[in-house]
């Protein structure tokens, strides 16, 4: 067997990935503090019964829910500080709108208790998020690449953060921050050609493969 055949054997075999092979981008910004991500898809399905049969005649399909969790390693700043700051610096919208008095505690405009000024209480202003649930929806792209040149990608679309929590203990050698989210869509996992991946519009490539599969009505998105 030639040397090239030996190399190709490994390239064709080692097509799996571990957590160390993953890089995630949130809103177009790489998040290096992410140490874990989960996602799940659930849907309501109920059996339909009729008289004369103990078995269901059919099943009705209801609402679908996409949700998951994010685990971050805490360094010296909030986990999503980089995403918020880079989008803000590049003039990409990461603001949220709120009442003028609902600013971050410590801000000069922040007032506790009942606000007497009606105009001040009802006014709406643009603020940078300081809680995770205030961050506008964003997309998460998970990129996989191992040492043998295999690569893949999948995306989670319209992510809305719900909860955030953290803590510290004498028994913890690392401080972590956990968030939960809901999302609008969960994309499938696509294989990528890593030799041509530099400068490739991954979002355009995903849409192109998906549309080609749907329009042709045959083949597999995993083999295109």
C-alpha span between 14 and 196 (Å, rounded): 19
Give me the pLDDT at residue 190, please.
86
Q: How far is 53 from 208, CA to CA, in rounded Å?
A: 47
Q: Where do the structural domains in the chain lie, given as residue ranges?
A: 15-45+59-92+132-215, 95-128
State the Cα–Cα distance between residues 117 and 19, nearest whole angstrom.
Answer: 53
Nearest to 62 by CA among 72, 73, 48: 48
- Whether the pTM exceeds 0.75: the reply is no
pLDDT tens for 98-134 read: 666 665 555 555 554 444 455 455 566 677 777 888 8
Residue 165 has a CB neighbour count (10 Å cut-off) of 10
CATH numeric code, 15-45+59-92+132-215: 2.30.110
Classify residue 138 as exposed, middle or buried by CB count within 10 Å of its CB (0-12, 13-18, 19+).
buried
- Closest C-alpha to 15, from 145, 154, 141: 145
* pLDDT of residue 222 exceeding 50: no
Confidence of residue 191 (pLDDT cuts 50, 70, 90): confident
Choice between 61 and 19, residue whose per-residue pLDDT is larger: 61
Residue 183 Cα distances to 61, 119, 130, 168, angstroms: 19, 36, 21, 29
pLDDT of 66: 95
Span 93-99, average pLDDT: 66
């Amino acid at each position: 067997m030639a040397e090239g055949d030996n190399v190709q054997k490994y390239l064709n075999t080692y097509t799996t990935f571990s957590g160390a092979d993953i890089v995630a981008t949130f809103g177009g910004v790489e998040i290096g503090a992410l140490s874990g991500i989960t996602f799940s898809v659930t849907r309501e399905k109920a059996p339909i019964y009729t008289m004369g049969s103990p078995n269901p005649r059919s099943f009705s399909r209801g609402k679908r829910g996409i949700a998951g969790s994010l685990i971050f390693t805490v360094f010296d700043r909030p986990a999503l500080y980089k995403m918020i700051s880079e989008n803000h610096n590049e003039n990409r919208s990461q603001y949220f709108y709120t009442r003028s008095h609902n600013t971050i505690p410590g801000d000069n405009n922040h007032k506790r208790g009942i606000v007497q000024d009606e105009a001040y209480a009802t006014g709406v202003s643009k603020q940078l998020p300081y809680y995770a649930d205030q961050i506008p929806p964003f997309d998460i792209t998970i990129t996989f690449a191992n040492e043998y040149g295999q690569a893949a990608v999948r995306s989670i679309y319209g992510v809305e953060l719900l909860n955030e929590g953290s803590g510290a203990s004498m028994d913890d050698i690392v401080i972590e921050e956990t968030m939960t989210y809901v999302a609008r869509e969960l994309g499938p996992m696509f294989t990528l050609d890593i030799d041509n991946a530099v400068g490739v519009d991954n979002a355009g490539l995903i849409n192109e493969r998906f549309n080609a599969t749907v329009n042709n009505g045959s083949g597999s998105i995993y083999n295109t």
